[in-house]
Amino acid sequence: MTGAPLPDRLDTARLTLRPFRMEDVERFVPLIGEWEVARWLARVPHPYGLEDGRVWVALAARNRAERASLDLLAVRKDDAQPVGGIGVILADGEVGYWLGRPHQGIGYGTEMLRAIVPAAFALGLPRLWARTAPDNRRSRRVLETVGFLPLDASDHYELTAGRWRFLTQETA
* Ranges of each domain in the chain: 10-121
- pTM to 2 decimal places: 0.89
Share of the chain above pLDDT 70, in %: 89
53 burial (CB, 10 Å; 0-12 / 13-18 / 19+) is buried
Task: Decide if 56 contacts 87 (C-beta within 8 A).
Answer: no
Please tell me the predicted confidence (pLDDT) of residue 3: 74
d(CA 157, CA 94): 10
Express each pLDDT in 15-37 by its tens digit: 999 999 999 999 999 999 999 99
- pLDDT category at 158 given cuts 50, 70, 90 is confident
d(CA 133, CA 78): 32
- pLDDT category at 161 given cuts 50, 70, 90 is low
Q: Which CATH class is domain 10-121?
A: alpha beta
Whether the per-residue pLDDT at 171 is higher than 50: the answer is no
d(CA 92, CA 118): 16
Whether the per-residue pLDDT at 130 is higher than 60: the answer is yes
Task: Decide if 13 contacts 75 (C-beta within 8 A).
Answer: no
Whether the per-residue pLDDT at 143 is higher than 80: the answer is yes
Task: Decide if 125 contacts 6 (C-beta within 8 A).
Answer: no
Quote helix, strand, coil % in the chain, to nearest 5.
40, 25, 35
Rounded to an integer, what is the distance from CA 1 to the centroid of its chain?
19
d(CA 172, CA 169): 5
